[in-house]
Structure 1
Amino acid sequence: MKQASWLIVDWGTTNFRAFAIDELGNVVAKIEKPMGLLQVKDGEFASALESVLTVWLSHYQTLPIFMAGMVGSAQGWVPVPYEYVPVDLNDIASKSIQFTLPWGAQATIVPGLCEALSNGSFDVMRGEEVQLLGLQSLVTEPDFTAVLPGTHSKHVNVKKRKIESFKTYMTGEFFSILSKHSIIGMALPNQECSQASFIKGVSSDLGPELMNTVFSARTLRLFDKIKETEVLEYLSGLLIGNELSRLGSEKIYIVGNVLLSDRYQSACHALNLKCEVVDGELAFLEGMKKIKEHF
């Protein structure tokens, strides 16, 4: 741990991750806690962070910290304004905000991104922009489409190293709501993994009427077309398939954790979409290293 020369923090709404990085950019230690913004009382972010670092690192007071995620939101530690797309990925670092921590170390928080839509609405992201910056350094193409699955999945178009546009799909949150708080998930027995039921959901002909088709997760169970123990597998496939059906035929990069990336990759194969999986943590760390190079 004495090798650590700086820290990376990914601080979201529900979770907290910190990485100790040496002078060569290697991860020498990692800590992960369910200490998201929702768990920090009365805006005491400095105290919350120090409580973690005190028991983790003996010399934390000397280490600069680079942070990303919801920690820079209006509900976070220091609000960092959104940058509008299109934006050059390399310009993200220059819009970061720096401040001095109570124990004297320097902190840097990365901005999120937003897109003003033609209908007068907006789309936003925080944290994924760092993964995109890292992805840019891991692939050779200047133009690519990336899918970042999660509670709020992101589809991002990058052209000539610029983020041109993106869309958010509430796939993960919608699945959680339906499985826990709707008739679809009511009184289900213990669920089993089933690739067949997942792909059956992915391949369903949704058309534009998801709100109608999603009811099939109930009716197919009633008429024994899917097993009661595989309803949520079918529902997951239905929602992910609907999300991915919006993509074109070009190759996409799936950037996320192993579990979600595997599901999205299986769905892409079922829909004849070309894809390549990139580890989300690796992309995040590479992106934060790029951020640090600017300071």
Structure 2
Amino acid sequence: MKNIDWLIIDWGTTNFRAFAMNKNGTLVKKTERRLGLLQIDNNEFALALQTVLDDWLGEYKSLPIYMAGMVGSAQGWVNAPYAEAPVSISHLAQKSVQFTLPWGAQATIVPGVSYESTPKHYDVMRGEEVQLFGLQSLENKESFVAVFPGTHSKHMYINESALSSFTTFMTGEMFSILSKHSILGMGLPDQHASITAFEKGINESGQKPLTSQLFATRTHRLFGNLKECDVLDYLSGLLIGEELKALTSNRVYLVGGEALCCRYKTACELLGIEATIANGDDAFLNGMLQIKKALNDDK
């Protein structure tokens, strides 16, 4: 405990992660729990957090806590209104919500970001903005594009050190729904990894409107153009290809889990997009450190 000066909490709808940090922003300890917001009864977030910290650290009650993710949503602990893009790290810090925990320590919740792409059409995120600014600090770049693969994949544009715009793609969720609950995944045998089927999906994506192109997942199977065990890799290629063809840059960072980022990198290479994989945890922790510095005017 002598080496721990502050805590970071990444609290989403299904998962909970806590990081114990030293004064220099170096990770000392980490814990993960299946304790998402959906598992908290009667809004007893403080009690749930205290239970985890009592079990994990013991002596923590004097440590400030910085939180990000859906914990700051209307369904979370404290509703932290979105910061509006374009937004800088200092603006994001200023919009953070601070309050005192029941045991006397100070808590800070990062607000997330909204973006009005066209009048009255909005996009939102909570958590990825922290990773984005952490990546910017680590890479020391004023302008770049980052893709965050996942259930709701994000394409984010940094210009002159500010998050200027972003777009969400429901790629991961679409794959899950279509593969489990539609005719496209019905009655399939065990699936094998097939780079050939995945590349076929990438190459054929965008040729027709998506709801029409998706039906090729069925007809390729019926007419023997796909092996029965390769169908879902083709479907994955269609969806990821459709998403990546919306990019307006041929050079991107991929931020997130290694396996999914590697899949996106393969797709990028096929489409002539230069992709660099960045570690999501490193970006997140550095982003929270930058927000902490901005709040405390600590350069």
Tell whether the structures are fold-level matches, with TM greater than 0.5. yes
Offset of residue 150 of structure 1: 1.1
Offset of residue 222 of structure 1: 1.6
Q: For residues 235 and 29 of structure 2, what CA distance do their matches in structure 1 show?
A: 38
Map 1:90-239 onto structure 2 (within 5 A). 90-239=90-239
Offset of residue 89 of structure 1: 2.7
CA deviation string 1:130-152 (max 9, x = no partner): 01110110123211111111111
Unmatched 5+ stretches in structure 1? none
One-letter code of the match for 1:103?
W
Partner of 1:78: 78
Offset of residue 2 of structure 1: 4.2
Map 1:17-36 onto structure 2 (within 5 A). 17-36=17-36
Verify the 8 A CA contact 1:149 1:260 in the aligned structure 2.
yes
Offset of residue 41 of structure 1: 1.2
Verify the 8 A CA contact 1:115 1:122 in the aligned structure 2.
yes
Verify the 8 A CA contact 1:98 1:108 in the aligned structure 2.
yes
Partner of 1:274: 274
Unmatched 5+ stretches in structure 2? none
How much is the aligned-residue C-alpha RMSD, in angstroms? 1.3
More deviation in 223-232 or 280-289?
Answer: 223-232
Q: For residues 112 and 43 of structure 1, what CA distance do their matches in structure 2 show?
A: 20
One-letter code of the match for 1:254?
L
TM-score by length of 1: 0.96
Identity %: 55
CA deviation string 1:13-36 (max 9, x = no partner): 111111111122211111111211
Map 1:234-245 onto structure 2 (within 5 A). 234-245=234-245
Partner of 1:64: 64
Q: For residues 150 and 42 of structure 1, what CA distance do their matches in structure 2 show?
A: 29
Q: For residues 208 and 49 of structure 2, what CA distance do their matches in structure 1 show?
A: 46
Verify the 8 A CA contact 1:72 1:78 in the aligned structure 2.
yes
Verify the 8 A CA contact 2:205 2:237 in the aligned structure 1.
no
TM-score by length of 2: 0.95
CA deviation string 1:209-256 (max 9, x = no partner): 011101111111122221221211111111011000011343111111
Q: Secondary structure at the match of 2:61?
A: helix
Q: For residues 150 and 205 of structure 1, what CA distance do their matches in structure 2 show?
A: 19
Q: For residues 119 and 179 of structure 1, what CA distance do their matches in structure 2 show?
A: 34
CA deviation string 1:106-164 (max 9, x = no partner): 11000110012325221001001101110110123211111111111111111101111
Q: For residues 224 and 59 of structure 2, what CA distance do their matches in structure 1 show?
A: 61
Verify the 8 A CA contact 2:92 2:111 in the aligned structure 1.
yes
More deviation in 83-92 or 201-210?
Answer: 201-210
Partner of 2:284: 284
Q: Secondary structure at the match of 2:140?
A: coil
Offset of residue 51 of structure 1: 1.4
Q: For residues 39 and 223 of structure 2, what CA distance do their matches in structure 1 show?
A: 44
Q: For residues 189 and 57 of structure 1, what CA distance do their matches in structure 2 show?
A: 46
Partner of 1:15: 15
One-letter code of the match for 1:61?
K
Verify the 8 A CA contact 2:205 2:241 in the aligned structure 1.
no
Stretches of 4+ moved more than 3 A in 1?
Answer: none
Verify the 8 A CA contact 1:249 1:274 in the aligned structure 2.
no
Question: Cα–Cα, structure 1 residues 222 and 83, in superposed 2: closer, same or farther, change >3 Å?
Answer: same
Instruction: Give the number of aligned pairs.
Output: 295
Q: For residues 201 and 170 of structure 2, what CA distance do their matches in structure 1 show?
A: 17
Q: For residues 208 and 116 of structure 1, what CA distance do their matches in structure 2 show?
A: 28
